[in-house]
Structure 1
Amino acid sequence: MMKLINMIIISLTLIIPSIISIMSNNKFMHPMLMGIIMFITTMISSINLSLNFKNHWFSFLTFLILIGGMMILFLYFISFNNNMKMNMKWMFLMSIPLKSIFMFIFMFSIYLNFNKIMWIYNINDIKMSSFENKFNLNFMYLEKKNMPSMIAMLYLLLTLSMIVKLCINKKIKIRKINYEKI
């Protein structure tokens, strides 16, 4: 059962870049849609971290940091684009479930043939229990393992700096404060 859950999470992780590639061609890209995709990616990575580690604190802290950054981005986007409509085409909406279904079928076929694959590569002797004591949270931030979290954090930083720069150039307040006279 755990293998099936891991396969589903891997398939969801592979679907997100395909959705982003579809959206990059859309000229009416709305920041709210990008925020939703980043939220889904954050959820998938947090679930993946909590399934792979015994201690769930790291996935919880990563989730809280990224959600806090997305809340700040939401505040900035609200002050900048408050009346922009989100236009999506029907083919875009239809392609997301189709890609999800195809990816799930592909991962499920790998799951069904998993014993054959393990037999071919002679990996049956390797057990994850032998790696549990050697596995450390610091491995996530090694040189080749830190790309997903670094990309998410750089996205938050660059978006924050771009919105502040745009608000300064147009002389718009970053945060709208409504004071009502009593």
Structure 2
Amino acid sequence: MKIMMSITILLSMNFIFMKHPLSMGSILLMQTMLTSIICMFYMNSYFFSYILFLVFIGGMLILFMYMSSIASNEKFYFSMKLLILNMIIWILIMIMNTISFKMDSINKLLEMNNLFDSFMIKKLYMFPSGMMTIMLVIYLLFTLIVVVNIISIKLSPLRSKF
């Protein structure tokens, strides 16, 4: 679990330095997969992480299609400075993880799993978080309508000229 969290932090830091749309998209895809896996471990429910992954992938497909139509011939350059920075950050994170690792952390992890076993997916739709779920559904509907309107314009990059 700590390794996944450290990879998530490393990818988030790399996203700041990326300039090419495909590299940004690949980082977002990896972040999505890691977020879904972490969510699956915490909730002990595959359904929510699966739906989260599908929603993110749907948005990523739209972003990929739009960016590939705008910047299709842009060259991808590999930065050696970024690779060295990644190695240094990764080594620092691993050193911090080994220093902070204790034998009782395994017991705490088991206690945390028992705590999250009581969490059910129906709490997602109850009062406090139900409003947030409704707002997210409305936001997704609004985003769908906006994307359809962007595509329907005659001279937009997503429209073919045939």
TM-score, normalization by structure 2: 0.68
What RMSD in Å do the two structures reach over aligned CA positions?
3.5
Matching residue's letter, 2:65: L
Matched position secondary structure for 1:131: helix
Displacement of 1:36 after TM fit?
0.9
CA distance in structure 1 between the partners assigned to 2:78 and 2:117 by the alignment: 48
Deviations 1:122-178 (A, max 9, x none): x97x93365245424446xx68xx9xxx8xx99xx6xx86xx49xx6xx3441447x
Q: Which moved more, 1:98-107 or 1:73-82?
A: 98-107
Alpha carbons of structure 1 residues 134 and 98: separation in structure 2 relative to 1, 3 Å: same
Q: How many residues align?
A: 144
Q: Which of 96, 111, 114 lines up with 1:127 in the alignment?
A: 111
Percent identity (aligned): 26
TM-score, normalization by structure 1: 0.62
CA distance in structure 2 between the partners assigned to 1:132 and 1:18 by the alignment: 29
Alpha carbons of structure 1 residues 19 and 127: separation in structure 2 relative to 1, 3 Å: same
Matching residue's letter, 2:48: F
Q: What are the equivalent positions in structure 2 for 1:16-95 lying under 5 Å apart?
A: 16-23=11-18, 29-95=19-85
Name stretches of at least 5 consecutive residues in structure 1 with no aligned partner.
1-5, 24-28
Contact kept, 8 Å, 2:42 with 2:113, in 1: the verdict is no
Alpha carbons of structure 1 residues 129 and 102: separation in structure 2 relative to 1, 3 Å: closer
CA distance in structure 1 between the partners assigned to 2:80 and 2:117 by the alignment: 50
Which of the pair has the greater relative contact order for Cα pairs under 8 Å at 6+ separation? 1
Higher helix share: 2
CA distance in structure 2 between the partners assigned to 1:37 and 1:10 by the alignment: 14
Matched position secondary structure for 2:77: coil
CA distance in structure 2 between the partners assigned to 1:130 and 1:88 by the alignment: 45
